[in-house]
Chain A
Amino acid sequence: MKEEETDNFSPEHRLKPADLSFSGKARLKRSVSELPLSQVEYLSAAFLENDLSAVEAAELEENLKQNSANRQIFNSIQLTRLKAPAVTYKYKSSLRKLSAGQRLFRIAAVSLSAAASIGLLILFALPSTRLISGKKTVTEVQITDSAPVTLLIASNEPIMGSSRQIIPRPGRVQEEVLPTSIPTEVTGSTEDSPVVSVDLPSSFAVHVPEPGAVTKEGSRVILLASGIRPVPLITNDDRGPVRKFIAATFREKILREDHFTDEKLRPYEVAKAGVEGFNRLFDWEMQITENLDESGAVSSVNFSSTLLSFNAPVKKTVDRE
């Protein structure tokens, strides 16, 4: 029945409620301490979610004060809040998008870094030729007495293009360039070669071909030394402990070599580390590789990126220090 219709009835036609009251009200009433277990749980969870009104929270608190078992339930529910682990998403850079300006900057940076890498390679990979041309073994000899040294060489030519005097000192080597040619004097001859006598300083390093090797000029070289005692080759590593430490650290931390040493860094290694660093930093895809010839020497360096790709030949160096 609609409300409007009921309103049409006159008051005398309406039922009047009996003036009764429920006598058992007191029995129905409950105190806070009587909250059922399920409701304690529900309120405890709601408390954790910060969903309780001030009155509800006060009632729950009162219940918990009076009931230690409920307090335990409350406490255990409060423990169920999860803490987010300290995990970060490590591929954010791959998600980022570049604006037109950033793309332009990126292209410019790629080109510049490529040019810088190649510049580095050229700068370090092409050291000046210091010794006699041709592939030679560096042998150090020491004069054991002051008697003239007798050398048998292919022709009556200066023995060496250059030489260095070595004054041994503990832990380091001091070098001094001597005149490029040492006067020689023919004192005899074998079947096909003159015997040359030379006055040399008492201690010096001489760069000679291996006996039997063929010189650049095509003549055969045989070294017969009188009063010469070969001594182990002194490596020309005059780096101090700091530079060695830097080299070792670079190999360990940047190149991530499993068995790293403090061996001198090759320009290619530095350039490659630089390229890989750029790739990681800017998510680029540049690549640098070295090509070796049959003897294992670097013949060329290949650089490739999305924009630029080229192959740079590397001049062979004579000095194999």
Chain B
Amino acid sequence: MTVKEYNRAVDEYADAVYRFIRADLRDDERANDIVQDSFEKLWRHVSEINFTVAKSWLFSTAYHTMIDIIRKEKRITGLAESDENDLLTDSHYTDLNEILHNALNRLPEQQRSAVLLRDYEGYSYKEIGDITGMSEAQVKITIYRGRMALRSFIGKIETVI
């Protein structure tokens, strides 16, 4: 990849990587750090990586950095399991997309990332598999389970409201 292509990657993919990580972590600052870190790594290997794979490379790098962070935090703080009641008692929702994004946070990490990559970026099962390290079949079933969980949350919210 040339410097020109690298800068093109910044223009074309930085937003998407940032959106993906931000939605997953729900933390602007850490999402910003991960994007910076991912592009820094890309820059260090700029000559070795072809522009055609730069996008999935960036997503994969960002995803694994994020997973590392999440694991470290879980080890340190022992994050409490998400409480479904929190979601149900939140009554300030203004639209379905907001409900879905809140519900997304209750999904296991793999389901969350797979659904986000599918919906935000329209990645194929294979591409999601390349990014997350899952097989195509695993990706397919993971997304399916994620959707069922989201649907279940929507149903509960509708019942409460």
How far in angstroms is the closest Cβ of chain B from A27?
Answer: 31
How far in angstroms is the closest Cβ of chain A from B74?
Answer: 24
- The answer, among A46, A81, A99, for a CB contact under 8 Å with B119, is A81
How far in angstroms is the closest Cβ of chain A from B49?
Answer: 14
Whether A89 pairs with B18 at a CB distance below 8 angstroms is yes
Interface 9-mer from A72-80, A169-177, A183-191, A226-234:
A72-80
Q: Which residues of the other chain, B, contact A2 by a CB distance below 8 angstroms?
A: none
Interface 9-mer from B64-72, B75-83, B85-93, B150-158:
B150-158
Count of chain B residues with a beta carbon within 8 Å of a chain A beta carbon: 37
Whether B97 pairs with A45 at a CB distance below 8 angstroms is no
Q: Which residues of the other chain, A, contact B7 by a CB distance below 8 angstroms?
A: 96-97
Residue in chain A with minimal CB distance to B148 = A41
State A231–B42 Cα separation when bound (angstroms). Answer: 72
Whether A85 pairs with B23 at a CB distance below 8 angstroms is yes
Interface check A84, CB cutoff 8 A: yes
- The answer, among B18, B39, B104, B144, for a CB contact under 8 Å with A82, is B104
State A74–B7 Cα separation when bound (angstroms). Answer: 43
> Known: A77-B151, A89-B14. Contact between A82 and B101, CB under 8 A?
yes
- The answer, among B10, B11, B19, B104, for a CB contact under 8 Å with A84, is B19
Interface check A19, CB cutoff 8 A: no
How far in angstroms is the closest Cβ of chain B from A316?
Answer: 47
Q: Which residues of the other chain, B, contact A98 by a CB distance below 8 angstroms?
A: 3
State A84–B120 Cα separation when bound (angstroms). Answer: 5
Interface check A53, CB cutoff 8 A: no
Residue in chain B with minimal CB distance to A81 = B119
Interface check A48, CB cutoff 8 A: yes
Interface check B54, CB cutoff 8 A: no
State A38–B113 Cα separation when bound (angstroms). Answer: 24
Q: B-side binding surface: helix, strand, loop or mixed?
A: helix
Interface check B51, CB cutoff 8 A: no
How far in angstroms is the closest Cβ of chain A from B139?
Answer: 10
Interface check B115, CB cutoff 8 A: yes
Whether A76 pairs with B154 at a CB distance below 8 angstroms is yes
Interface check B131, CB cutoff 8 A: no
Interface check A13, CB cutoff 8 A: no
Whether A76 pairs with B155 at a CB distance below 8 angstroms is yes
State A97–B9 Cα separation when bound (angstroms). Answer: 11
> Known: A48-B147, A89-B14, A92-B14. Contact between A80 and B154, CB under 8 A?
yes
State A159–B15 Cα separation when bound (angstroms). Answer: 72
State A41–B144 Cα separation when bound (angstroms). Answer: 9
Interface check B134, CB cutoff 8 A: no
Residue in chain B with minimal CB distance to A42 = B144
State A12–B131 Cα separation when bound (angstroms). Answer: 58
Whether B100 pairs with A80 at a CB distance below 8 angstroms is yes
**In A46-75, which residues have CB < 8 Å from any B CB?**
46, 48-49, 51
How far in angstroms is the closest Cβ of chain B from A235?
Answer: 48
Interface check A16, CB cutoff 8 A: no
State A285–B104 Cα separation when bound (angstroms). Answer: 41
State A51–B136 Cα separation when bound (angstroms). Answer: 13
Interface check A21, CB cutoff 8 A: no
State A95–B10 Cα separation when bound (angstroms). Answer: 7
State A89–B14 Cα separation when bound (angstroms). Answer: 6
| Chain B contact residues, CB within 8 Å of chain A | 3-4, 6-7, 10-11, 14-15, 17-19, 22-23, 32, 35-36, 39, 43, 96-97, 100-101, 104, 115-116, 118-120, 140, 143-144, 147-148, 150-151, 154-155
| Chain A contact residues, CB within 8 Å of chain B | 41-42, 45-46, 48-49, 51, 76-77, 79-85, 87-89, 91-92, 94-99
